[in-house]
Chain A
Amino acid sequence: MQSAKKGKLLFCGIALALALLMCAVCLFAAAEDTASAANLGQGSTGDKVSEMQRKLKNWGYYDGSVDGIFGSGTRKAVEYFQRTNGLTPDGVVGRATAAALGMTLSGSSSGGNESSSGVLRRGSSGDRVSEMQRKLKNWGYYEGSVDGVFGQGTESAIKYFQRTNGLTPDGVVGRATAAALGMTLSGSSSGGGESVSSSDLELLARVVYGEARGEEYIGQVAVAAVVLNRVASPSFPGTIAGVVYQAGAFDCVADGQINLSPDDTARRAAQDALNGWDPTYGCLFYYNPRTATSAWMLSRPVKLVIGQHNFC
């Protein structure tokens, strides 16, 4: 009898554990990443919240003020952002949401060791160091491995980069060096005066990346040129953001790919278009003939074909 009791207890224990496990899985799936201590949620304050609000505002998810306070308006904006980016709309910025926002959360396990100002120096580690090493390696300044650890080799490479780019060769990646590397420092709080033109370049690069990554370079320049041709046309809004976010104008806005971080090629294509390159000579539309369904669009005379896109 005693052994039967033991067996029953054992099975009941297993059953309870199973039930608890299933509940935990369900709750975890629903709550996504709320468990991390570094998450941002309603009530949070500080530079990270400001950075997030600025991004949400720049991308059209948030209309409130960038005050560094995570209130109900910010929560709604985060939920809106999460919904349009295929994330669980819980209004909490965990690791997944932060990644989609192009942010790292202080204290998150992948954040590595950065100073609070975001300055990278010998001893720093993490994703930002990897990004910097990758750039240095691509541009021929660094031969070591991209391991996310700021060691002696990385410091030498930074000094070499600084020397050849007219910067003080101190081996420390501050704002000026980061800017020359095409990076922003995660903790940099003095960026309040970000110029409109940089935002335009960033937004245009996002459209290019969202709409035409994988296309050959000239096709990417052409997509950016179409956006700028629309800005100059009386038939469309008069700003880059107005054109990009006009309802139904670009698929990448509808499916949220506009919020992916653009790569170097997309940035260079956007830069070329802003500098005047327009291989389409005034085209206002492009479409993929294999997927387009609009009869009106398909009836327009095609002026140029580059890769997957017909320009008209």
Chain B
Amino acid sequence: MRPKNLEEKKQALEAYAAELAEEDNGAGKRGAKRAKKKRAAKTAVFSVTAALAVGAIAGLSVALAYSEDMNSLRSEYMRDMEGVYTRHYYDLSDSANALDVALGKLNAAYTASAQQDILYDVWNAAGLAGVSLSAFEGGEEGVMQASKFVNQTGDYAHYLAERLDDGEPLSREETEKLAKLRAMTGVLRRALGETREGISEGRLFLGEDGMLSELTGAFDAFADPEVDYPEMIYDGPFSDALEHRECKAVKGMERITPEEGAELLREYIADASAIEYLDRTESDAVTLNYSVTTEAGRGFAQLTEEGGMLIAYNILPERRAAAEGDPQACAVARAFAKRAGYGDLAVVWCASAQGTTYVNLTPVQDGAVLYPDLIKVKVDEGSGEVTGLDATHYLYNHTDRTLPEAKLTVAEAEAKLSLPAVSEGRLALIPMDETKEVLTYEFECEREGTYFVYIDALTGEETNILYVIDDTEQGEMLM
């Protein structure tokens, strides 16, 4: 049995050894597989890293090129802007010198004709100075005051030149005022002088150590000038007289409370479903402000505190289908103004734009329409409702007037026209130079366009011509 057992054992051992060898062989194969996987993973990591690196390098290169491009552009724009500021600075210096010279020459001029020529030079130089000044920081008080000085000086010179044309010589007071304005020109030239030194030293307006803010600051001399700036009251659009306007129409009337105002608004705006007091405006006009809700929407209304007049009303209605033509707009506007206490007004102009008819109304006195007291009413063409009223001109200008007697008949005035009239002339009081009112005859004329021509009813002079522009966006306009 033993040999048999041994044999069996031997066989068993051989079988076991073979089995082990086989196992070893399998393990080797698996190890090779694992190694292959490891290599593959390494390759993947390497590839992705390489890809990211290439991508990052490409991105960085693009970013660098882009940044370089941007810097170059920035420098280019800086140089362009430097050129713009430098040009305006030199133009301003030239204009300030020209203004100074012209105002100086006035001392030597004693004939009206020479004075007139020089005053037009002042007007011209001041206009150019105003344009150059506007290139510098707006909203800075010094720049604003300097602008006011040059614009008023030009405006005043123009007014005096036109007056000389009418045969009215310069008064002593006016000559003194012109001398003060020349002294102010000195302030302007000094303000510019420091910058000139900077330019000589090679400094720029922009960039580090730029002179732009210094120059803007130099104009502060105008906010607190060494020379007393004269009060400029004259017949011109920039007159100080217009800075704080008087509300002639309500002067001396009793003040109302916000509650009384709300009651008045209920009368004026019949379809108002809600009226809410908001606040008070203390501007050239003192008003009580309300929010008003009507069927058309929510709006805003202002009553004068003195007298409780409806001075402004505005609402933004929803767009609706426009009624054909809407011939009722003028009647609706007149009725609304009448209910607001403005009496019977004449329709002087009607224009349609963007779904709204704008109706201009004026009071009539002794047969003359009073343009200075113009009231504007908006009528929504979709609903036919009044959506706005503006009576600012009425507030500032309306007063008890005594109109002069016309010296010309309407036929005599018409004979002075150079264009064929297409309407009968009518008397019209028109505002001139912002502070004057002139009684005229108004004629509508046609020649390759429509014109309104105004002939002075006292002197027969052609005082104003308005041209009608048919504008697709704004409707018909007068220029």
Contact = CB atoms under 8 A, between A and B. Distances in A.
B354 A276 contact: no
A19 B55 contact: yes
Interface in A1-49: 4, 7-8, 11-12, 14-16, 18-19, 21-23, 26-27, 29-30
Contacts of A179: 472-473
A306 to B, nearest CB: 8
Given A15-B48, A277-B388, A236 B144 contact: yes
A80 B63 CA distance: 20
Nearest to A24: B58
Contacts of B282: 301, 303
A232 B237 contact: yes
B40 A4 contact: yes
A47 B155 CA distance: 43
Contacts of A235: 144-145, 147-148, 151
B267 interface: no
A155 interface: no
Q: Place the interface of chain B in its size category.
A: 35 or more
Interface residues of A, number: 77
A139 B322 contact: yes
Contact of A247 (B56, B137, B354): B137
A236 B382 contact: no
B138 A247 contact: yes
B18 interface: no
A11 B77 CA distance: 47
Contacts of A271: 353-354, 356, 474
A19 B51 contact: yes
B392 interface: yes
Contacts of A301: 282
Contacts of A280: 281, 283
Interface string B344-388: 000000000111101000000000000000101010001000001
Contacts of A68: none
Interface centre among A141, A232, A303, A311 (most CB of B within 10 A): A303
A20 B424 CA distance: 82
Interface string A256-283: 0000000011011001101111111111
Contacts of A102: none
A119 interface: no
Interface in B13-43: 36, 39-40, 43
Contact of B392 (A233, A278, A297): A278
A16 B299 CA distance: 65
A12 to B, nearest CB: 6
A60 to B, nearest CB: 11
Interface stretch (B249-257, B311-319, B449-457): B311-319
A276 B322 contact: no
Interface stretch (A51-59, A104-112, A195-203): A195-203
B134 A83 contact: no
B444 to A, nearest CB: 20
Contacts of B319: 138-140, 264
A276 B237 contact: no
A218 interface: yes
Contacts of B390: 275-278
Contact of B281 (A267, A276, A304): A304
A182 interface: yes
B75 to A, nearest CB: 13
A11 B43 contact: yes
Nearest to A250: B138
Contacts of A237: 130-131, 134, 138, 147
A168 interface: no
Interface string A215-257: 0111001000000000011111110001100111100000000
B245 interface: yes
A30 B321 contact: no
Interface centre among A216, A242, A304 (most CB of B within 10 A): A304
Interface string A199-218: 00100000000000000111
A246 B133 CA distance: 10
A195 B314 contact: no
Interface of B: 36, 39-40, 43-44, 47-48, 50-52, 54-56, 58-59, 62-63, 65-66, 70, 73, 77, 130-131, 134-141, 144-145, 147-148, 151-152, 155, 237-238, 245, 279, 281-285, 287, 289, 298-300, 302, 312, 314-316, 318-325, 353-356, 358, 374, 376, 378, 382, 388, 390, 392-393, 469, 471-474, 477, 479
30 contacts: A4-B36, A8-B40, A14-B47, A15-B48, A19-B58, A21-B55, A22-B56, A26-B63, A27-B62, A83-B77, A140-B320, A197-B477, A217-B314, A218-B314, A232-B237, A234-B155, A235-B148, A237-B130, A268-B356, A271-B356, A272-B378, A274-B474, A276-B390, A277-B314, A279-B281, A279-B312, A279-B314, A280-B283, A281-B283, A304-B279
Interface of A: 4, 7-8, 11-12, 14-16, 18-19, 21-23, 26-27, 29-30, 79-80, 83, 89, 138-141, 164-166, 179-180, 182, 195, 197-198, 201, 216-218, 221, 232-238, 242-243, 246-249, 264-265, 267-268, 271-272, 274-283, 285, 294, 296-297, 301, 303-305, 311
Given A4-B40, A235-B151, A276-B376, 19 more contacts: A8-B43, A12-B47, A15-B50, A26-B63, A79-B73, A197-B474, A198-B472, A218-B300, A234-B148, A248-B137, A272-B314, A274-B474, A276-B392, A278-B392, A281-B284, A281-B285, A285-B139, A304-B281, A304-B283
